């Protein structure tokens, strides 16, 4: 058998094992591949299928919804730049600074975000077509399923930051429906599972990535209130907040079940920041002013940010080597910066503007650094450089990491 097919079949076998075998089977030692390879022989139909779609298969098999972290970051950056680039009339001097940013920079960023998102979406659609069983496995995974929200959130963010579609236009409304319906369907599925289905109740299924589902609703609420649909916005907002309350309490309790996030995935703890900030943004656009409720949500987000930043040991293990999960840092920081921009606009104090400036600079820097890291570590990101014959330890462990993460 061709070595590449070995790898592929091995991978698919592992995928099957994940869904069927008890956990001890999964901890395979990268040094002795012989056992897993011998297992792969017993599954000829999968190998045959893989060899048919030869060129795309490695991409499609390795791809997963977690890659939409990149588009989330880029789209939220685009929104941040858009909001910062349009200072209100009586803005603070520090805010006026941003109006010197060339508008072409924003247009460039927006188009980069658009193309990235379109590219990722295309790949994912292909994956759905050719490897629906893998998508299904992702859907059943308690971390992976939450990233199915990510593409729709990215599209909604991109829609809100779009330079040429105004919120009142028909395109906006149509696109809003297109992107919100999948979110609602996923909501019904996931939230329903939390309190009805026997084995997926919330104390077991909840993990920090579950907050993406809440964020999805909040982004939709913000977009709806921008186009003037206040009732829809309130529906989405209340739906999100009710489940956010449950989720926040459950996550904070640190029950044994929700405590089982692998160390490599620790950066997603930053999503703790994103949800209250997004809620604050949504509430501002619904209520029209940055009132006390919005402030409290923003302050909670700020406190969680400080709390996470002050314990770097939590992230030490995941920071040893570049991985895709790093992109999880960028999106929450950007959302926090967005909320701080709204806050500074309301409070108009010097401190508030310094805070906004600092958080915006931080989020931009983090995003830039992540882009640079991703560009220099393309062999881990770009999929067709999948190591074929090399059986060195690093690539294997990389793969074994990415399997359960999905």
Partner 1 sequence: MVMENNKFMDHAKQNSPEEIPSLLQFLSSNEVEGFDIVGGKKGLNNQSQPSEIKPLNSSAMVTDTADVQSQSKESHHHRKDSVSISMPSSPFRSDEFQTPKSVAFNLSEKESSTMISDSTAGGIPMHAKSHSQPIPKGFVVERTVENINFTHHPSVASRFRDRRFDSFKTWSGKLERQLTNLRGGRPQEVGPEEETKKSEMETNLPVDRYFDALEGPELDTLRASEQILLPEDRTWPFLLRFPVSSFGICLGVSSQAILWKTLATSESTKFLHITPLINLVLWFIAVALVVVIFSVYLMKVIFYFEAVRREYYHPIRVNFFFAPWIALLFLAMGVPPSITKTLPGALWYVVMTPIFCFELKLYGQWMSGGQRRLSKVANPSNHLAIVGNFVGALLGASMGLKEGPLFFFAVGLAHYTVLFVTLYQRLPTNETLPKELHPVFFLFVAAPSVASMAWARLQGSFDYGARIAYFICLFLYFSLAVRINFFRGFKFSLAWWAYTFPMTGAAIATIRYSNEVTNVVTRILAVTLSSISSLVVTALLVTTILHAFVLRDLFLNDIAIAISEKRPKHHHHRKWLHHLRHGSSDHKDIENYLKFSPEGKYVEACVDPRSTENEESIENKV
Distance, in Å, from the CA atom of 220 to the CA atom of 215, rounded to the nearest integer, reads 8
Distance, in Å, from the CA atom of 317 to the CA atom of 120, rounded to the nearest integer, reads 28
Cβ at position 15, least distance to partner 1 in Å: 11
320 touches partner 1 by CB under 8 A: no
Which residue among 32, 38, 196, 310 contacts partner 1 (CB under 8 A)?
A: 310
Q: Which of residues 338-357 bind partner 1 (CB under 8 A)?
A: 347, 349, 352
> Count residues contacting partner 1 (CB under 8 A)?
61
- The nearer residue to partner 1, 93 or 256, going by C-beta atoms, is 256
Measured from the Cβ of residue 200, the count of other Cβ atoms closer than 10 Å reads: 16
Q: What is the 3-state secondary structure (H, E, C) of the chain?
A: CCHHHHHHHHHHHHHHHHHHCCHHHHCCCCCCCHHHHHHHCCCHHHHHHHHHCCCCHHHHHHCCHHHHHHHHHHHHHHHHHHHHHCCCCCCCHHHHHHHHCCHHHHHHHHHHHHHHHHHHHHHHHHHHHHCHHHHHHHHHCCCHHHHHHHHHHHHHHHHHCCCCCCCCCHHHHHHHHHHHHHHHHHHHHHHHHHHCCHHHCHHHHCCHHHHHHHHHHHHHHHHHHHCCCHHHHHHHHHHHHHHHHHHHHHHHHCCCCCCCCCHHHHHHHHHHHHHHHHHHHHHHHHHCCCCHHHHHHHHHHHHHHHHHHCCHHHHCCCCCCCCHHHHHHHHHHHHHHHHHHHHHHHHCCHHHHHHHHHHHHHHHHHHHHHHHHHHHCHHHHCHHHCCCCCCCHHHHHHHHHHHHHC
What x/- string results for residues 376 through 405 when contact with partner 1 is judged by CB under 8 A? Answer: ------------------------xx-xxx
- The nearer residue to partner 1, 2 or 317, going by C-beta atoms, is 317
Which of 78-86, 228-236, 295-303, 326-334 is the region at the interface with partner 1 (rule: CB under 8 A)? 295-303
27 touches partner 1 by CB under 8 A: yes
Which residue among 148, 202, 224, 300 contacts partner 1 (CB under 8 A)?
A: 300
Cβ at position 344, least distance to partner 1 in Å: 11
Which residue among 118, 129, 188, 306 contacts partner 1 (CB under 8 A)?
A: 306
Which residue among 157, 221, 240, 251 contacts partner 1 (CB under 8 A)?
A: 251
What x/- string results for residues 2 through 21 when contact with partner 1 is judged by CB under 8 A? Answer: ----------------x---
Q: Which of residues 143-172 bind partner 1 (CB under 8 A)?
A: 143
Which of 68-76, 107-115, 215-223, 312-320 is the region at the interface with partner 1 (rule: CB under 8 A)? 312-320
Q: Which of residues 261-280 bind partner 1 (CB under 8 A)?
A: 261-265, 269, 272, 276
Which has the closest alpha carbon to 200: 239, 126, 248, 146?
146
Which residue among 96, 99, 307, 376 contacts partner 1 (CB under 8 A)?
A: 307
Q: Which of residues 175-214 bind partner 1 (CB under 8 A)?
A: 199-200, 203-205
- The nearer residue to partner 1, 69 or 266, going by C-beta atoms, is 266
What x/- string results for residues 124 through 143 when contact with partner 1 is judged by CB under 8 A? Answer: -----------------xxx
Binding region for partner 1 (CB under 8 A): 18, 22-24, 26-27, 141-143, 199-200, 203-205, 245, 248-249, 251-265, 269, 272, 276, 292, 295-297, 299-300, 302-304, 306-308, 310-311, 313-314, 316-317, 347, 349, 352, 400-401, 403-405
């Amino acid at each position: 058998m061709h070595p590449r097919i070995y790898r592929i079949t091995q991978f698919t076998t592992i995928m099957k094992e994940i869904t069927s075998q008890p956990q001890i089977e999964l901890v395979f030692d990268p040094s002795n591949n012989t056992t897993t390879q011998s297992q792969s022989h017993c599954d000829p139909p999968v190998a045959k299928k893989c060899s048919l779609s030869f060129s795309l298969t490695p991409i499609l098999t390795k791809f997963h919804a977690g890659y939409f972290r990149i588009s989330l970051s880029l789209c939220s950056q685009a929104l941040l730049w858009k909001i910062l680039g349009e200072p209100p009339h009586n803005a603070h001097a520090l805010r006026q600074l941003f109006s010197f940013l060339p508008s072409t920079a924003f247009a460039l960023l927006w188009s980069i975000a658009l193309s990235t998102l379109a590219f990722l979406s295309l790949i994912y659609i292909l994956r759905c077509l050719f490897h629906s069983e893998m998508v299904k496995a992702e859907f059943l995974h308690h971390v992976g399923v939450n990233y199915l929200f990510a593409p729709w959130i990215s599209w909604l963010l991109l829609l809100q930051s779009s330079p040429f579609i105004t919120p009142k236009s028909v395109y906006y409304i149509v696109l809003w429906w297109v992107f919100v319906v999948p979110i609602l369907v996923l909501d019904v599925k996931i939230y329903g599972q939390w309190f009805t289905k026997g084995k997926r109740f919330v104390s077991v299924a909840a993990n920090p990535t579950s907050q993406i589902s809440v964020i999805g609703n909040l982004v939709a609420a913000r977009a709806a209130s921008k186009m003037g649909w206040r009732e829809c916005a309130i529906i989405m907002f209340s739906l999100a907040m009710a489940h956010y309350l449950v989720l926040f309490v459950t996550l904070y309790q640190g029950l044994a079940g929700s405590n089982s996030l692998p160390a490599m995935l620790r950066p997603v703890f930053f999503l703790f920041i994103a949800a209250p900030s997004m809620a604050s943004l949504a509430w501002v656009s619904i209520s029209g002013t940055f009132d006390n409720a919005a402030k409290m949500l923003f302050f909670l987000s700020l406190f969680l940010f400080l709390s996470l930043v002050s314990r770097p040991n939590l992230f030490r293990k995941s920071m040893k080597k570049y991985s895709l999960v790093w992109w999880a840092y960028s999106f929450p920081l950007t959302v926090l910066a967005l909320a701080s921009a709204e806050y500074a606009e309301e409070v108009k104090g010097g401190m508030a503007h310094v805070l906004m400036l600092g958080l915006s600079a931080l989020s931009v820097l983090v995003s830039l650094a992540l882009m640079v890291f991703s560009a220099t570590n393309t062999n881990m990101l770009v999929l067709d450089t999948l190591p074929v014959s090399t059986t060195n330890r690093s690539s294997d462990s990389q793969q074994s990491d990415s399997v359960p993460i999905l």
